[in-house]
A and B are shown apart, each in its own frame.
Chain A
């Protein structure tokens, strides 16, 4: 086939447009949802978390998470004023039913944890069969039909966000309520959070208030030295949190 320069210049944009369409993908059941237009993350405001456990309960009900396993959970940190290495962390039943009052005057606060939906996630890199992946809209998902249950990813996740679901013997984790966010709903945990400590963030949407928040606050991700590209942003994150 002989192409003239003119023909090539006409063909290239057309090919690019076609490729863009392939990359975007359109879930059939959510016809208005285009994954290329979103890049999901979450904003967690530790200064607002009251440790009520509503998020944990909602997550378990929404996603049918078995008892004793958690896609999201809440930890309580108790820190002596200078002893970052001597922290006391507890999370009774994932913080599902709240926390008993410890009293005392030590610094103490709640940290909700979930999958950080890393852009350069260690867990997806180790999957031998392509059962876990970063979706085109930035959500780390598990394909339960393809997962072998080999547990490589469970070990690879530096945040401890993955577990083997005893019902299916496949890996389970927070999928940022992918069945909700693709239908213009927020996640179950963000929906029920009574203080707004958790907020779903669409980093590709310029109108999302997360941009203003990130600009005006000192926000940190967990374990930034691992360069995982974590997209769970924490406001008011204490140095003792691991």
Chain B
């Protein structure tokens, strides 16, 4: 077998080889290292998403310092309501308790978010018509928000 008159085939082969090499180089530059690590996506994205900052610290963190509140709360109907459910996101406060101080809450507005009467709410959930019940007075005039049941009322029931 001779290679006479086949130089054009070598030229095509060379052009193809160069093109393919360029493709491989460009591809290796463009495709992120972690692509395909776990599947058809960028594996590093998992870490990037997981490392976003947290706003809500979680009630366990609150309880490490505010054990006194926990003791009150444990006794009452709000035992399972997390601190940040009313007080808002306070991860910043856990990082720097001195300078980030949670705002005082207005119970006249806060409590009705859950407890204003509404036909769509489950029947067994405690609800009031706030206008009739307290005429706009803050709820903590009578109730202690961390353990809201009033003693006298509790005894008669």
Please list the residues of chain A having a beta carbon within 8 angstroms of any beta carbon in chain B: 22-23, 25, 27-30, 33, 35, 47-54, 58, 61-62, 76, 78, 98-99, 101-105, 108-110, 130-136, 141, 143, 145-146, 175, 178-180, 182-183, 185-186, 188, 191-196
B108 to chain A, nearest CB (A): 15
Tell me the bound Cα distance from A43 to B42 in angstroms. 29
Tell me the bound Cα distance from A61 to B57 in angstroms. 12
> Which 10 pairs show the lowest CB-CB distances between chains A and B?
A143-B45, A133-B41, A179-B52, A108-B120, A192-B85, A130-B41, A182-B50, A130-B40, A101-B118, A27-B50
25 contacts between A and B (CB under 8 A): A25-B37, A28-B47, A29-B47, A29-B50, A52-B113, A62-B56, A62-B89, A76-B120, A105-B119, A109-B120, A109-B122, A130-B39, A133-B39, A141-B46, A146-B45, A178-B50, A179-B50, A179-B51, A179-B53, A182-B50, A188-B56, A191-B84, A191-B85, A194-B80, A195-B125
B132 to chain A, nearest CB (A): 13
- B114 on the A face (CB < 8 A): yes
Residue from the list A25, A108, A130, A194 in contact with B81, Cβ < 8 A: A194
A60 to chain B, nearest CB (A): 10
B42 to chain A, nearest CB (A): 5
Asked if A50 contacts B125 (CB within 8 A), the reply is: yes
Asked if B122 contacts A47 (CB within 8 A), the reply is: yes
Chain A residue with the shortest CB-CB distance to B122: A47
Contacts of A110 in B (CB 8 A): 120-121
Range, interface on chain B: 35 or more
Asked if A61 contacts B55 (CB within 8 A), the reply is: yes
Contacts of B51 in A (CB 8 A): 27, 29, 179
- B38 on the A face (CB < 8 A): yes
Asked if A136 contacts B38 (CB within 8 A), the reply is: yes
Asked if A191 contacts B56 (CB within 8 A), the reply is: yes
Please list the residues of chain B having a beta carbon within 8 angstroms of any beta carbon in chain A: 35, 37-43, 45-56, 58-59, 80-82, 84-85, 88-89, 113-114, 116-122, 125
Contacts of A49 in B (CB 8 A): 122
The residue among A145, A179, A183 with the most chain B CB atoms within 10 A of its own CB is A179
Asked if B45 contacts A191 (CB within 8 A), the reply is: no
Chain B residue with the shortest CB-CB distance to A190: B82
B86 to chain A, nearest CB (A): 8
Tell me the bound Cα distance from A61 to B87 in angstroms. 13
Asked if A193 contacts B85 (CB within 8 A), the reply is: yes
Tell me the bound Cα distance from A186 to B39 in angstroms. 26
Asked if B40 contacts A133 (CB within 8 A), the reply is: yes
Tell me the bound Cα distance from A141 to B44 in angstroms. 12
Tell me the bound Cα distance from A28 to B46 in angstroms. 10
Contacts of A104 in B (CB 8 A): 119
Tell me the bound Cα distance from A76 to B45 in angstroms. 35
Asked if A48 contacts B89 (CB within 8 A), the reply is: no
Asked if B56 contacts A58 (CB within 8 A), the reply is: yes
Asked if A50 contacts B114 (CB within 8 A), the reply is: yes
Given known contacts A101-B117, A143-B42, what 9 new A-B pairs fall within 8 Å (CB)?
A25-B38, A27-B47, A28-B47, A51-B120, A54-B85, A99-B118, A130-B35, A130-B39, A191-B59
B103 to chain A, nearest CB (A): 14
